[in-house]
Structure 1
Amino acid sequence: MKAAEVVERVRDEGLGLVDLVFSDITGGAKALTIPATLVERTLERGYRFDGSALTGGMRSVELDLYLMPDPSTFAVLVPGEGDDRRGRLCCSVLRKDGQPFDGDPRSTLQRVIDRAAAAGIDYRVGIEMEYYLLRGDWTHLAVERDSAGYFDFGEDAVSRTRDSIVSSLASIGVGLGGAHHETGPGQEEIDLRPTGALRMADQLITIRQTIRTAARQFGLRATFMPKPFTDAPGSGVHVFQQFREIDGATDILRDEFDELSTAAMHIIGGQVAHAAAMCAVLCPTVNSYKRLNAGHRAPRYANWAHVSQTSMIRVPSALAGGAASIELRCQDALANPYLALAVALTAALDGIEHQLDPPEPLEESFSSYNDAGLERIGVQRLPGTLGEALDAFSQDQVVQEALGSYISDQLLTVKRAEWEEYRTVVGPWEHRRYGDA
């Protein structure tokens, strides 16, 4: 869709408001709402805003930045109860000279996509995203969850919410695969069909809010925490990566014998080599590592396999003639989707450029191995805490260069502060464990 078509659509739909959507570096979706009368001018010139919104209000960033809408992202959002119908445009952030702002996650992903395109590579991704639909506030959620299982229908409110989510996302042009109940009580999964990496990241920025809005209409609450409950499975985002030649005709992941190609092995090698540092971006919260450490099909090791779900990377079987994919399993829904795809693609390109070979694929369970045993078979654990992941990130120049020095420095500052706060706060577990000692 071009700018003139957006202006016409806003007029034809009778919309009064349009949200200019962008992302901060921690993955939060931000929006600036403008009246429909300003849409045409904003598409031409951008809209000036306070740049500290990109880093959670830190005042050390440039203030005079501009939101530049991408007209191809226009959609009419399904309103929540009592809300006005409105349009949505995803935006990049520009400096006043019209150049991309170094702290903009969307522009960062576009830069890496352009680098891949210059090497003749088209990067497409499909997504499986898990989350929980729950009742009440956090003091009651643990005892007011449904008891349906994997692919079950679930209770009526959950099923109706799922239907509403699917309808809402389809109406705004999200390329849906399917949606179903997951293994946890109240846990859901929604699948998105493969598309270009930038479009997928734009979709993910919108999806969380759409799911929350639908859940509220049925008296439920959606949470995207990676591990909301000790005794229930965590929620992840599985990224199915496709690599094709830029003309789309050739699958880079397959060789002439329909087996994994040399390039595919180097892509896996690059992502395994940079796994620990990537976790700081793909698994960006304290809670992320409670999901990884708990197991239950969550990856714990920087290796790859065809079947094992404890591996960071899995290569699923594909139909003959169908597109092959490399599944990255460690990410969760609290990651910034632009930055997550930027570091995953950069690690893959590094693997190709430097011909990095992965370790042998291993299907076995490693639960009985100590660190020495894992070292003997060439397997490394993924970071066990956010602090460990940040240390790895600070030492990995390839992953830092994917984000650029500005975002890398801001990310380390924000996330080290988060980790330090967690380390020093005394919580309920300590009260229960030691309060009467």
Structure 2
Amino acid sequence: MTVEDPLFATPSSEDIERTMDILGENGVSLVHLQFSDIAGGGRTVSIPTALLPRVFRRGFRFDGSAMSGGMRQVEVDLFLMPDPSTLVVLPPLPDRPRRAFIYCWVTRRGGQPFAGDPRTILQKQLNRASAIGLDYRVGIELEFYLYKGESLATASFESPHVSPSYFSDSDVGTALVRDHIVAWTHELGLGVHGAHHETGPGQQEIDLRHLGGIRIADQLNSTRQLIRVIAEQHNMKVTFMAKPFDDAPGSGMHLFQRLLKLDDGTDLLRGEDGADISAIAGHMIAGQIRHASAMSAILNTTVNSYKRLADGHRAPAWATWARVSESSLLRVPSTPEGTLTDIELRSPDPMANPYLAIAVALGAAVDGIEQKLDPPGAFDENLVHYNEEEFARFGVEQLPQTLGEAITNLTHDDTMREILGHFIVDQLLTVKRAEWDAYRRHVSPWEHIQYGEL
């Protein structure tokens, strides 16, 4: 089985031989074939290392219903095609076989791209950007909580008698876990360039350096897996929920976007003649603001996501941009002379599918650039000082406040449907409508407490 589509290349004999040499030198006996389902969940098929050359050539057939909550009969037989450039050999663990993982394209029989593969959707948008001379790079700030206990309901933290805060080093237990995360990810070449304590108890941030869209999404998934493994070694658990606790800040997955000229690496976002941003940067901002409400269904993909956006802890609630304010949807942070310009997208949370999140962000940016859309004025003040009437007067749109609103907005945005494809949009709408309906029908303990004695 060979992949003929130009979206991705069939591994060469040299690539396969090099991969097998690395696995042999490290004594790897088990390879995890990694792929992403439509909703963003990581999926794994484990194979003996000796079978990998055959899988490189023919693919690994699997039940396509794993991609979503069930597929039409024609989608049942799908194939995993490993990408040798993504190989990661895991450090040895006691009483475990030496393991590695490798990310895969999901294809149909004959090697044709599968319309429901998030990795393929992102590659199409990267190709679209390349066709007009753009090189899109993304860095990621990933936030999460480390805790002890059987579940979030019984969570406890390492330092109950102190109040760790932003960049705090007083939470000794989580600091040790964080140090191991940084050391492991550096050893494995995963591009983590910083980590620190966040504002919530047990809340952490890991910063991934800028890479091309596919590589950064792969590395984000790899980093998440390593965080879980390392936390378990320290008898701790990790949650990537957007808002796991009532009285603590939510966790974001901020995208730091760069746009370079493909042929020479010129920074296309930095302004000239005294301007802090370029015209292209303005078009990019305008495109992402135009599609922000529909993108929310991808960037904030669960009912829990909207509790983070409403918690008042710097998460955006309005489709604005700024140079300073961290409560805006988009921010252009200050950068030293000679440093590439970033446009930070602040609404995504860690439960989003990174491939689809980056795909819609890039697709919206390219739409703004191609149409030469003009951005609204920047809101550099703290947005809490504005009310709904004032935002309406400025023509500022409120971001969806519920998953239900986001789903409705996605159905009405033809550009998002074009970016994601009919298959993924229809599958997501089916799954997320069912999730939203189940949530609306659920009677919570809070309601029992508030209304049970009325």
TM-score when normalising by structure 1? 0.97
Q: How does 1:45-84 map to 2 (within 5 A)?
A: 45-58=58-71, 62-78=75-91, 82-84=95-97
Structure 1 counterpart of 2:363, one-letter code:
T
1:44 aligns with one of 37, 47, 57: 57
Which of 414, 424, 431 is 2:431 aligned to? 414
1:194 maps to what in 2? 210
* Cα-to-partner distance string for 1:369-419 (whole Å, 9 max, x where unaligned): 443321101212111001111111110011111110000100111111111
Distance 1:241 1:160 in 2: 30
Please name the residue that 2:327 is paired with. 310
Q: Which letter maps to 2:146?
A: L
Give how far 1:141 is off. 1.1
* Cα distance in 2 for residues equivalent to 1:188 and 1:61: 43
Report the residue type matching 2:153 in the other structure: T
Secondary structure (helix, strand or coil) at the match of 2:359 reads helix
Q: Is the 8 A contact 1:80 1:217 kept in 2?
A: no
Please name the residue that 1:98 is paired with.
Answer: 111
Q: Distance in 1 between matches of 2:154 and 2:117?
A: 38
Q: How far apart, CA to CA, are the structure 2 residues paired with 1:145 and 1:337?
A: 32
Distance in 2 (CA, whole Å) between partners of 1:202 and 1:154 is 32
Query: Are positions 1:319 and 2:336 aligned together?
Result: yes
Aligned equivalent of 2:236, options 215, 220, 235: 220
1:203 is displaced (CA, Å) by 0.8
Q: Which structure 2 segments of 5+ residues have no match? A: 1-13
Aligned twin of 1:242: 258
Once the two structures are aligned, what percentage of the paired residues are identical?
Answer: 52
What displacement does 1:368 show? 4.9
2:264 and 2:39 map into 1 onto residues whose CA distance is: 32
> Match of 2:99, as an amino acid?
R
Instruction: Indicate the residue corresponding to 2:170 in structure 1.
Output: 154
Q: Give the aligned partner of residue 396 of structure 1.
A: 413
- Separation in structure 2 between the aligned mates of residue 396 and residue 83 of structure 1, nearest angstrom: 48
Match of 1:21 in 2: 34
Aligned to 2:315: 298
Backbone CA RMSD of aligned residues: 1.6
2:179 alignment partner in structure 1: 163
Contact 2:159–2:172, Cα closer than 8 Å, also in 1: no
| Residue in structure 1 matched with residue 6 of structure 2 by the alignment | none
Inter-CA distance 58–97: structure 2 relative to 1 (3 Å threshold): closer
Task: Using the TM superposition, give the Cα deviation of residue 140 of structure 1 relative to its aligned residue in structure 2, in angstroms.
Answer: 2.0
In the alignment, the residues of structure 2 paired with residue 212 and residue 432 of structure 1 have an alpha-carbon distance, to the nearest angstrom, of 34
- The residue that corresponds to 1:267 in the other structure is 284
Deviates more, 1:4-13 or 1:192-201: 4-13
> In structure 1, the residue corresponding to 2:420 is in which secondary structure?
helix
Give me the whole-angstrom Cα distance separating, in 2, the residues matched to 1:384 and 1:61.
Answer: 37
Cα deviation 1:165-184 (Å, max 9, x = unaligned): 11221222101110110111
Which residue in the other structure is 1:141 paired with?
Answer: 155
Looking at structure 2, the residues matched to 143 and 156 of structure 1 have their Cα atoms a distance apart, in angstroms, of: 11
Q: Is the 8 A contact 1:244 1:250 kept in 2?
A: yes
Whether 1:130 aligns to 2:143 is yes
How far apart, CA to CA, are the structure 2 residues paired with 1:422 and 1:271?
Answer: 29
Shift of 1:142: 5.5
Report the 3-state secondary structure (helix = DSSP H, G, I; strand = E; otherwise coil) of the residue aligned with 1:426.
coil
Deviations 1:286-313 (A, max 9, x none): 0000000111111111010011111000
Q: Distance in 2 between matches of 1:241 and 1:284?
A: 21
1:252 aligns with 2:268: yes
Alpha carbons of structure 1 residues 255 and 308: separation in structure 2 relative to 1, 3 Å: closer
Residue 129 of structure 1: SS of its match in structure 2?
Answer: strand
* Pair 184,248 (structure 1): closer, same or farther in 2 beyond 3 Å: farther
Q: 1:172 aligns with which of 172, 175, 188?
A: 188
Cα distance change, pair 252–90 in 1 and its aligned pair in 2 (3 A): same
Q: Distance in 2 between matches of 1:320 and 1:37?
A: 51
Counterpart amino acid of residue 397 in structure 2: Q
Q: Which 4+ stretches in 1 moved above 6 angstroms?
A: none
Query: Following the alignment from structure 1 to structure 2, what is the Cα–Cα distance between the partners of residues 46 and 143?
Result: 44
Given that 1:80 and 1:214 are in contact with CA atoms closer than 8 Å, whether structure 2 keeps it comes out as no
Q: Aligned partners of 1:57 and 1:249: how far apart in 2?
A: 43
In the alignment, which residue of structure 1 is the partner of 2:10?
none
- Name the structure 2 match of 1:8: 21
| Residue from 165, 179, 182 that aligns with 2:198 | 182
Q: Distance in 1 between matches of 2:214 and 2:450?
A: 47
Alpha-carbon distance, 1:76 to partner: 0.2
Cα distance, 1:61–1:189 mapped onto 2, change above 3 Å: farther
CA contact (8 A) 1:122 1:248 kept: no
Matched length:
437
Separation (CA, whole Å) in 2 of partners of 1:59 and 1:208:
31
Cα 1:61–1:30 change in 2 (3 A) is: farther
In structure 2, distance between residues paired with 1:208 and 1:73? 15
Amino acid at match of 2:189: G
Residue 407 of structure 2: SS of its match in structure 1? Answer: helix
Which deviations, in whole Å up to 9, do the C-alpha atoms of 1:2-45 show, x marking residues without a partner?
A: 22210111122111110000000111110101101111111122
Structure 1 gap ranges (5+) = none
